[in-house]
Amino acid sequence: MDATGRIPRSGMRAAALGVAAACALAWTGTTLAQQTKIKIGLMLPYTGTYAALGTAITNGFKLAIQENGGKLGGREIEYFTVDDESDPAKAPDNANKLIKRDQVDVLVGTVHSGVALAMSKVARDNNTLLIIPNAGADEITGPLCAANVFRSSFSNSQFGIAMGKVMADQTKKTAVTLTWKYAAGDESVGGFKEAFEAGGGKVVKELSLPFPQVEFQPYLTEIAALKPDVVYAFFAGGGAVKFVKDYAAAGLTKTIPLVGPGFLTDGTLDAQGESAQGLLTTLHYGDGLNLPKNNAFRAAYAKTFSTPPDVYAVQGYDAAQLLIAGVNAVKGDLSKRADVVKAMETAKIESPRGAFALSKSHNPIHDIYLRKVDGKENKVIAVAIKNLNDPPRGCKL
């Protein structure tokens, strides 16, 4: 300014140049950010008993991205894929490869709770955004919860709690449980036992075998001898196909009802055929849910992948929907992590299962349905528990 308080011409020119330069920089910055692809690491099982689950999650995830114009917050996407083989021992190396070698911005995975526990530790240690599209390990959204870790699926005890209540309400008195011996099965059975016994029943025997073994015969013989009112079993994928067929072949289906979390009959009905007919399960999804979102999702999925979707496809789809909510809120600028997290925490996800929000610990709060196998469908016959939220498990978020 000169003595008259006016800005001299030379000063105005300099100021104008400064503003132009700042605008150019900001413009260049935006352009650069938008030209860089967002790297997504998919760490899922593509071989072994959970292979079909990993494929369905991948398909569901990519379908939601495709419906979002193939981009996230205006940015192109690059996928990095690792087959985790459902092997917890390989999980730290696999997760580190994606984070350190491939430098992914976001990790998506996985199916197996033991793998997810190791994976979430690596994500916490590196502060990498992680979305879990299946594995239900209760601890991950309990004492191990973290601002950068989200789940689009469930926690393991949720379906056991629902089925325990349903069986107690049906006045069943005795139950035998059978599961693969690891976090998912233990927690599923734990939820069943807690609710069944609270309702007046008694779990008379807890049977288990190592994951992913499928030699069920000795356990079926023991169940036949114990003659409980009901059997609650946790198996999924290829193992669920074989178990349900073996249970029927042993002649048990008609004498001792078999129930379980929906994984027992989800994505498996083609292979299980007659052996699964009439089985009752509890899950946060059912094939025939007559919701506009579910109808549209099922049609789009079948058209894109030439196969009907299952619960795993829904969870993959919702993992992407959650990520879209976070990344769109910051227009693709992932350096605004706190804003990404806030948008994901407060998102209302229009899921094929029905709309849901996340709990404080980043786990879905959703309805749990009672389903009955009818032909090739898991038909919803009732809502077993409305808006189920996990009990507080020491999450400090």
If binding means CB under 6 A, how many residues of this protein chain bind ligand BEZ?
10
Decide: is 118 part of the binding site for ligand BEZ (CB under 6 A).
no
- Minimum distance from CB of 75 to ligand BEZ (Å)? 31
Q: Which of these segments, 61-69, 75-83, 132-140, 289-297, binds ligand BEZ (CB under 6 A)? A: 132-140
Residue closer to ligand BEZ (CB basis): 112 or 284: 112
* Residue ranges in 210-239 that form contacts with ligand BEZ under rule CB under 6 A: 236
- Minimum distance from CB of 264 to ligand BEZ (Å)? 10
Binding mask 302-331 for ligand BEZ (x = CB under 6 A): ------------------------------
Contact (CB, 8 A) for 109 and 79: no
Using CB under 6 A, which of 184, 283, 323, 373 touches ligand BEZ?
Answer: 184
Q: Which of these segments, 77-85, 131-139, 197-205, 288-296, binds ligand BEZ (CB under 6 A)? A: 131-139
Residue closer to ligand BEZ (CB basis): 135 or 279: 135
Residue closer to ligand BEZ (CB basis): 148 or 188: 188
Decide: is 136 part of the binding site for ligand BEZ (CB under 6 A).
yes
* Residue ranges in 54-113 that form contacts with ligand BEZ under rule CB under 6 A: 111-113
Decide: is 117 part of the binding site for ligand BEZ (CB under 6 A).
no
- Minimum distance from CB of 395 to ligand BEZ (Å)? 18
Residue closer to ligand BEZ (CB basis): 276 or 327: 276
Residues lying near ligand BEZ in the complex (CB under 6 A) are found at 111-113, 134-136, 156, 184, 236, 263
